[in-house]
Amino acid sequence: MKKRIAVLTGAGVSAESGLGTYRDNGGLWDSYDPMEVASIEGWYRDRRKVLDFYNMQRRKLSEVRPNEAHRLIAELEKDYIVDVITQNVDNLHERAGSTHVVHLHGEATKVRPENSFNEQDGYSEKNVFDIGYGEVHLGDKAPNGSQLRPHIVFFGEAVPKMEQAIELVSRADIVLIVGTSLQVYPAAGLYRYAGEGVPIWIIDPAEVQIHDPRVHHIRKVATEGMKEFIKAL
């Protein structure tokens, strides 16, 4: 029976692909106020600003490729049952070949109607459209006549896939955390659902704030840290 690995990733796993992180020096939140471009209040205050921010994110995404860390995570599927649970809204895990990716904070390439959003309606695929690296502008409407919005979990909104993520982490035999500052809840608390004695590996060049006896910290960038992690398996 193959062992299960839950891989929790953040912006750091995509840093070496050329996508910015959020909170490192020069990160995205140094140039943009998340409360203006990535919050539900920001959306109602100025939809155009939010639409432009994600149009820019999609444009950047079309210019980058998965890096060695994404590929090594995908290759784990040869020997393990791998659940990637990512805070990232990019599609690099999928493009590297990962087949089970849960996007806790949504997906940049997808849009949905801004109203009639509820668990069933908003998250059922019938209401979510993949526009790839295209743009959405004010006045672009969904079939139900309402404005199209990014299929992103804005600050101030619930994280509908959290229960699914908790279930996957609680069943894991190994938990691997790559490239997240663990500052945004509830995603940041996910590792705590790992079972008794389950090893928690963290790959991050920075100091980590978790002081848990189960933690092994590989203090390297994702592409190097993944090679070390695989050797240690």
Nearer to ligand APR, 28 or 168 (CB): 28
Residues linked to residue 178 through DSSP beta bridges, in sequence order = 9, 203
Nearer to ligand APR, 74 or 222 (CB): 222
Nearer to ligand APR, 25 or 120 (CB): 25
Q: Does 15 bind ligand APR (CB under 6 A)?
A: yes
Which of 195, 208, 186 lies closest to 85, judged by CA? 186
Tell me which residues in 107-166 interact with ligand APR (CB under 6 A): none
Residues 173 and 2: their CA atoms lie apart, in Å, by 10
Count of residues that interact with ligand APR, criterion CB under 6 A: 24
Is 216 catalytic? The answer is no
In the list 205, 217, 219, 227, the residue contacting ligand APR (rule: CB under 6 A) is 205
Q: Does 34 bind ligand APR (CB under 6 A)?
A: yes
Between the alpha carbon of residue 29 and those of residues 7, 136, 208, the distances in Å are 25, 22, 20
Residues linked to residue 74 through DSSP beta bridges, in sequence order = none
Nearer to ligand APR, 33 or 130 (CB): 33
Residues 63 and 42: their CA atoms lie apart, in Å, by 27
Catalytic residue (choose from 93, 105, 211, 217): 105
Quote the least distance from Cβ 47 to ligand APR, whole Å: 19
Contact 86, 73 (CB under 8 A): no
Q: Which residue is nearest to ligand APR (CB)?
A: 12
∠201-202-208 over CA atoms, to 5°? 135
∠171-174-177 over CA atoms, to 5°? 110
What count of residues does the chain have?
A: 233
In the list 42, 113, 150, 179, the residue contacting ligand APR (rule: CB under 6 A) is 179
Which residues contact ligand APR (rule: CB under 6 A)? 10-12, 15-16, 21-24, 27, 34, 87, 105, 179-181, 183-184, 203-206, 221-222
Active-site residue list: 105
